[in-house]
Amino acid sequence: MFFNKLFGFFSKDLAMDLGTANTLIYQKGNGVVLNEPSVVALSRDSGKLLAVGQEAKEFLGRTPKKIEAVRPMKDGVIADFKVTQEMIKYFLTKVQGSRLIHPRIVIGVPTGITQVEKRAVIEAAESAGTRSVHLIDEPMAAAIGANLNIEEPYGRMVVDIGGGTTEVAVISLSAIAYSESIRVAGDEANDAIVRYLQKKFQLLIGENSAEQAKINIGNAFPKEAPPTYDIAGKDIVSGRPKVVTITEKEMRSALAEPIQAILQAIRRALEKTPPELASDIHDSGITLAGGGALLKGLDKLIAHYTKLEVNITEDPLKSVVLGTGIAVENMNTYQKVFIN
């Protein structure tokens, strides 16, 4: 009884995937305890936080004039420091409440993150009552989460396709030997769908509807998606509600540009990888992680163009958080992968 009370003062160590689309938190011993969109709804007048996460995501495109729904990480790494910090604080408080002894935390961050951005993430975590904040590169975390043996002197390529960024990384000896990051991923795919429907069908749709369409019929390779899908929106000219039936082939044309950009990033990374590691990748293939990896047929397309074997991690939306979780469960073993 006494000991239970005593240990109640201690919070369990945490791990976080701070994604441009989704934030996930892992608690030592308990697994994934939070999985919410990285979205914040604010009052336009006071700047006050009105909703965070899933609730705020439903506000996107549906807010009255007085409310603004923002994705603080969306355009690049951290587009809005203050809101990002508030969001981190909100999520951390949600999972741990207030405790006397503060937990340690491991946070996955994009490879391209600047010193200033690192500082902002660390400060946000500290202001939410955590101590000793460790950062880890997201592709490294995804590799750990996918149970790849990152410690070997052997090259492996991980492609993490998230909402805002696609990160291509070559990992060997617990380090990132080469990385390539582009700001084209799931969000750009949604935007491409919006533009395509606007141009071809004079149909206006919002970000969330575009994402739903992408998840249902989005595809990168023939015969991987259902043949057709109905999308509801608004006619540009008349302003009236309208439904359009789109085919999987049309969807492929809509997504051609962002998909090409991802293919090119992979190709560039393969070209720039040192020969020994490139030859390892020839044998080990490419591992896809991140929600974007779920786009139907994308693995087949990448395999077709690179002539390499392509595998998707077991649960691509969770690879990073599970990797940071493994790091927090085995803090000493993973010291060398922390980047701060």
- 145 lies in the binding site for Mg ion (CB under 5 A): no
Residue 6 C-beta: closest distance to ligand ADP, Å: 37
Whole-number minimum distance, CB 245 to Mg ion, in Å? 33
In whole angstroms, give the CA distance from residue 91 to residue 41: 14
Residue 291 touching Mg ion (CB under 5 A): no
Q: How far is the CB of 237 from ligand ADP (least distance, A)?
A: 29
Q: Check binding of 162 to Mg ion (CB under 5 A).
A: yes
Is 11 or 190 the residue whose CB approaches Mg ion more closely? 190
Would you tell me how many other CB atoms lie within 10 Å of the CB of residue 226? Answer: 12
Binding positions for ligand ADP, rule: CB under 6 A: 19-22, 162-164, 186-187, 211, 214-215, 218, 290-292, 294-295, 317
Residue (of 86, 147, 107, 132) closest to 17 by Cα position: 107
Contacts of 143 (CB under 8 A, 6+ apart): 150, 156, 158, 169, 171, 287, 323
Mode of pairing for the β-strands spanning 67-70 and 175-182:
unpaired
The option from ligand ADP, Mg ion, none interacting with 233 (CB < 5 to 8 A, set by class) reads none
Residue of minimal CB distance from ligand ADP?
Answer: 186
Return the number of the residue (107 or 220) whose C-beta is nearest Mg ion.
107
Question: Which x/- pattern over 89-108 shows residues binding Mg ion (rule: CB under 5 A)?
Answer: --------------------
- Name the H helices within 248-335: 248-272, 275-284, 298-306, 319-329
In 183-266, beta strands by DSSP E? 203-204, 228-235, 241-247
Give the three-class secondary structure for 158: strand
Query: Which one of ligand ADP, Mg ion, none is in contact with 297 (Cβ closer than 5 to 8 A by kind)?
Result: none
State the Cα–Cα distance between residues 88 and 70, nearest whole angstrom. Answer: 14
Residue 33 or 236: the one with the smaller Cβ distance to ligand ADP is 33
Q: Which is nearer to ligand ADP, 145 or 290 (CB)?
A: 290
Cβ proximity to ligand ADP: between 22 and 172 the closer is 22
- Residue 53 phi, psi (nearest 5): 80, -140
Q: Measured from the CB of residue 270, what is the shortest distance to ligand ADP in angstroms?
A: 22
Instruction: List the structure tokens of 242.
Output: 């309208």
With tokens 């990073």, the residue in question is 320
CB of 65 vs Mg ion, minimal distance in Å: 32
Please, which residue, 171 or 294, has the CB nearer to ligand ADP? Answer: 294
Residues in 12-31 that interact with Mg ion by CB under 5 A: 19
**H-state helical runs in 26-161:** 54-57, 81-96, 115-127, 138-145
**Closest to Mg ion by CB, 19 or 218:** 19
> Is there binding between residue 316 and Mg ion (CB under 5 A)?
no
Q: Phi/psi of residue 175, each to 5°? A: -140, 165
The pair of three-digit structure tokens given for residue 202, joined into one six-digit string: 């004079």
Q: In sequence order, which residues have a C-beta less than 8 Å from that of residue 113 and are 6 or more positions away?
A: 77, 121, 135
- 37 contact, one of ligand ADP, Mg ion, none, CB 5-8 Å limit per kind: none
Place of tokens 């996955």: 108
Minimum Å gap between C-beta 144 and Mg ion is 14
Q: What is the nearest approach in angstroms of Mg ion to the Cβ of residue 4?
A: 36
Sites of contact with Mg ion (CB under 5 A): 19, 162
